[in-house]
Structure 1
Amino acid sequence: MRTAELTEGAVESRDGTTIGYWKTGQGPAIVILHGSMESARSHTLLAEALAGDFTVYLPDRRGRGLSGPHRPDHTVRTEVEDLEAVLTSTGAEFAFGVSAGGAVVLEAARTLPGLTKVGLYEPAIVDNPTPHWEWLARFDREVAAGNLAGAMVTSMYGLQLAPAFLKVIPRRLMTRMTEKMLVKDERQAAPGAVTMRTLAPTIHHEGALIAELAGTFEAYRAVSAEVLLMGGSKGLAALKPWRDALEKALPHCRRVEFDGLDHGASSDPGGTNPGGSAKAVGRIADELKAFFKQS
């Protein structure tokens, strides 16, 4: 399978943190913002599918790959400022975000003047912040103790990512299984790859971001950009009711629900997305191309 030819670049966010990105293609600029337990390279196939019509920028969100670390005062506003730095440097008026990255893109569309069209895939906007603050406390304790596998299990349940059949497996066994997955991922990773063990601590900031934005649906009535709001029939069931709420709030919204696609459908297969496929990416790419090319 051919992969996109990517070149490396970087910008400086408002607080001086480096935000690195990969670039490919030609044409109008699109910025793709990845989700949780992902890095910029998680959307290489999507970038390749769009590269014939667009210049695609794949930034690493903080704590990953080419970008600098999180700071103690990190908030959703920090994430928006990081995205703003990339948008300003590239002149992009289009953006696409996935899950927590989709929440950042939507908040940017609400607060920044330059975005005219945004695509969102299962954006992580929910109604109640309390459950996320609750699991984050345990997650932080486990990370501090060096138990990254246990912390990942905590986040999986906290973010309601666990399929029903996994919920009957004892937590201790789930932790052992997760540790084996982390070891396998490290063993198979290419030199310089962003591994799941490296990504695991960043989940704290994803949970905090989701909690911070919880219940903000009415605020998005102020979004002037056109929005393509997408999800999958096999995606996160916990997020679907809140896509319904977003669709009602957004003034210029087109809704697409893909039959058979899951939460990781826009991302490259592998790692935490074993069910991914080039075919699924292609279906999302086709919708994005039609949306962003439409005048």
Structure 2
Amino acid sequence: MMTEARSGREGHPSTSIEPYAVGAVTSRDGTTIGYRQIGRGPGVVLVQGAMGTAANFDQLARALARGFTVYLPDRRGRGMSPRAYDAAHSIEREVEDLEVLLSRSGAELVFGLSSGAIITLEATRALPSIRKAAVYEPPFYLEGVPLDLIARFNDEIRRGNLASALVTVNDIVHLAPGLLAAVPRPLLRLATSGFLRLDGRRGSGQYAPVRELLPAMRFDFKMVVDRGESIASFKAVDAEILLLGGTKSPRYLKNALDALETILPKVQRTELEGVGHEAPWNADRGGSPEVVARSLRRFFREDRA
């Protein structure tokens, strides 16, 4: 495993004001998948995780656009890809969404973050058109998926109790500061209610509102339920895979990368110093997109030198 240091002079990865093209494809079940497109060169599709849309990958996309044509789909249920959640949803539908964009674009390279990384791995196993894929911290729960918490989250969303649902999300993903673990749940709900009111009043700028993204997490947690405990099927992946993660990320995400490193036949791994799970996102969302872009450029260009 290679460890890569974080640059102290990162800033914004690009001052480019090149506009995006916007397009849409229709998935097999009729869902419209909207996407942004920017850059020139070999095609790369960026698959978002939970609580984000294409806008969260803006700076990563612009950093890659100097040498690649970058496609940024909004996954179903959010942004440009509206779709009501259905309990019959499965990871196969998400793979079909990616497949139709790969077919339209001719892209052979894919990057996935978090639940988007699970989709990317599953797609790479199922679709021979993917030549290389990079995944950032897929949330495999090798010691057992927290099904009770996911059921609680789904029920809170069904009842419209978004503040409680957001508190439950942290109980599942463990990405909030550790000090919050000592805060009683009623106080967390109260603080979260205030945050949601503020987000609703002032808006989120270029980003999708939390009230839209939070219900869409049912799609993400379904990925975890479908594939979250077992990684054995990925032994069949023939494409080259880059595993990415940050030194500041939770232990269970590092454990998943450790296990994948022993299973995937053609694998590389890079640990990024000083960053966490949000590293691929824009800098104003806590990310370090240029650090991630450097690893992606190196990996995707390796056999094209």
Normalised by the shorter chain, which TM-score bucket?
over 0.9
Distance 2:143 2:19 in 1: 42
Query: Please, which of 27, 30, 42 is the counterpart of residue 13 of structure 1?
Result: 27
**Could you tell me whether the CA contact under 8 Å between 2:38 and 2:69 is conserved in 1?**
yes
> Counterpart in 1 of 2:230?
216
Amino acid at match of 1:293: R
Determine helix, strand or coil for the equivalent of 1:20.
strand
Query: Please, which of 293, 298, 301 is the counterpart of residue 293 of structure 1?
Result: 301
Alpha carbons of structure 1 residues 128 and 84: separation in structure 2 relative to 1, 3 Å: farther
Amino acid at match of 1:78: R
**Residue 113 (str. 1) matches residue 146 (str. 2):** no
- Residue 212 of structure 1 deviates from its aligned partner by 1.1
Query: Please, which of 241, 245, 264 is the counterpart of residue 231 of structure 1?
Result: 245
Over the aligned positions, Cα root-mean-square deviation in angstroms equals 1.6
- Residue 13 of structure 1 deviates from its aligned partner by 0.4
1:7-51 deviations in Å (ceiling 9; x for gaps): 110000011110000010001100000111111111000000000
1:143-190 deviations in Å (ceiling 9; x for gaps): 222210110111210222333211110111111222222233334436
Query: Please, which of 106, 117, 140 is the counterpart of residue 125 of structure 1?
Result: 140
Stretch moving more, 121-130 or 142-151: 121-130
Amino acid at match of 1:114: S
TM-score (norm 2): 0.90
**Could you tell me whether the CA contact under 8 Å between 1:129 and 1:210 is conserved in 2?**
no
**Residue 94 (str. 1) matches residue 109 (str. 2):** yes
Distance 2:302 2:145 in 1: 40
Overall identity of the aligned pairs, in %: 40
- Residue 4 of structure 1 deviates from its aligned partner by 4.9
Stretch moving more, 33-42 or 121-130: 121-130
- Residue 248 of structure 1 deviates from its aligned partner by 0.4
Amino acid at match of 2:27: S
Determine helix, strand or coil for the equivalent of 2:275.
strand
**Could you tell me whether the CA contact under 8 Å between 1:160 and 1:238 is conserved in 2?**
no
- Residue 65 of structure 1 deviates from its aligned partner by 0.6
**Residue 61 (str. 1) matches residue 75 (str. 2):** yes
Alpha carbons of structure 1 residues 116 and 14: separation in structure 2 relative to 1, 3 Å: same
Distance 2:198 2:46 in 1: 28
> Counterpart in 2 of 1:143?
157
Higher relative contact order (CA 8 A, sep 6+): 2
Alpha carbons of structure 1 residues 80 and 128: separation in structure 2 relative to 1, 3 Å: farther
* Alignment gaps of 5+ in structure 1: none
Amino acid at match of 1:120: V
Query: Please, which of 165, 178, 186 is the counterpart of residue 172 of structure 1?
Result: 186
- Residue 128 of structure 1 deviates from its aligned partner by 4.5
Amino acid at match of 2:116: G
- Residue 191 of structure 1 deviates from its aligned partner by 6.4
> Counterpart in 2 of 1:259?
273
> Counterpart in 1 of 2:7?
none
Query: Please, which of 36, 39, 42 is the counterpart of residue 56 of structure 2?
Result: 42
Determine helix, strand or coil for the equivalent of 2:118.
helix
* Alignment gaps of 5+ in structure 2: 1-11
Alpha carbons of structure 1 residues 125 and 156: separation in structure 2 relative to 1, 3 Å: same
TM-score (norm 1): 0.93
**Could you tell me whether the CA contact under 8 Å between 2:145 and 2:229 is conserved in 1?**
no
